[in-house]
Amino acid sequence: MVSFRQLAVVTAVADGARIARKGARKDGFSPLDGKVLANLDVCSQDKVDEMKEVFTEGACTLVSAEWELELPADGSCTKVSVACAPWAAEHLLQEGHATKVSDDAGGFYREKSGTAKSFVEAASGELLADFYSDWRDLETQMARVHAAVAASEGAAELGVIGQSVEGRDIEVVRLRGKGWSPGMPRLVLTFNVHAREWITGMAGVYAVEKMSAMARDDPEWLAGKEIALVPMVNPDGKKHSEGFWRFQRKNMRVVNGSLCTTGVDLNRNVGSSWGKFGAASRCAAETYRGEAAFSEPESQALDKLFREAPMTAMFDVHSYGQMLLYAWSWTKDPNPRAAEFESYGGKVHAAMEARHGESVKFGPSAATLYQASGVIPDYATELGALGFTFEIRPSGFRHLLGFTPPKSDILLSAEETFDGLLAAVANLDSV
């Protein structure tokens, strides 16, 4: 049988010329223009190895998996979606390894999910609900955050906790209730750590907007409590995702010049568990952990925020899968505070499910999802908080649109996340 390497030598030049003729890059889906989108059922290690050869040759790109292609630990099959050069897709289809979805992956995702857009707010300063009807670009999201803080009449305060690799501000919104002082209940919320998870950044903007309004309208709501929200942890990656590569996961650290895929995974870069398990040392890997714990300025900014005052609880919002997970992620050993996680987290879980009737898995992260070290909620737990991860919409079976859900999910997911966070605030005193 002709190998993918042999096929690549014969066809890559012609295929590259064909794609180049389609015109200049126009958005983050442009690298997928002219590529065939297909679903694969991978059921053996031989097939995993064969597909990794395809990825190495640049013939196909994973667009659904959390990071790299692996079989589940129980040996069952895995289903992934890939965008392939036409010659590679034809080979996969002839061999019976794939089911075609579209002849143009870029066009498919533009239609099904869409691109980031700007938004014009009302001249009156009213925050229009239409904001959540579509994906918004980085500048528009942060402008909405600023507008929400301005509309809070002093109930919310905007601050900067650091700068990104490329020098963008990492901003925090603080809501401090009457009588609060360090050592009293404190909730920290982070969003859009992974660039491609746009739905989490939209949920962050929504949380800022609604919580700021609540704090303004009811001065007693946060009495004796503080909430610190970081609506955009990875601004550089988000910007890159909008215009260059929609599926960018990491920050924009340039590692070893051009030899590696850009970036460090910010959710593998913190804490004493750094580098222990599920965090790659290879700089090209999607889960590259960085050269050392807290090597990245974004991680350092979060560390600074976390250490401002003791934290009661911390929630890091990701997508996708519809799960509420708690520490530990790096080990399957039970957390000493498991009963507290179950009690407190159970109230958050119930509120999330109640909003729109969607099922949300709940449990310890390593056992419920997978093992990973250097993750942000584990570090928050090491500092004394109850550290949780949200994996919001879409649900786990929608691999094809996992990181690029339809825009109809934006508001629904923001509402589910917000209701969970309201429960987290309401029950802070019980921790």
Q: Which of 66, 226, 391, 416 is catalytic?
A: 391
Asked about 391 being catalytic, the answer comes back as: yes
How far apart CA 135 and CA 151 sit, in angstroms, is: 22
Given a contact cutoff of 8 angstroms between Cβ atoms, the answer to whether 379 and 327 are in contact is no
How far apart are alpha carbons 34 and 36 in whole angstroms?
Answer: 7
- Which residues are catalytic, by number? 391
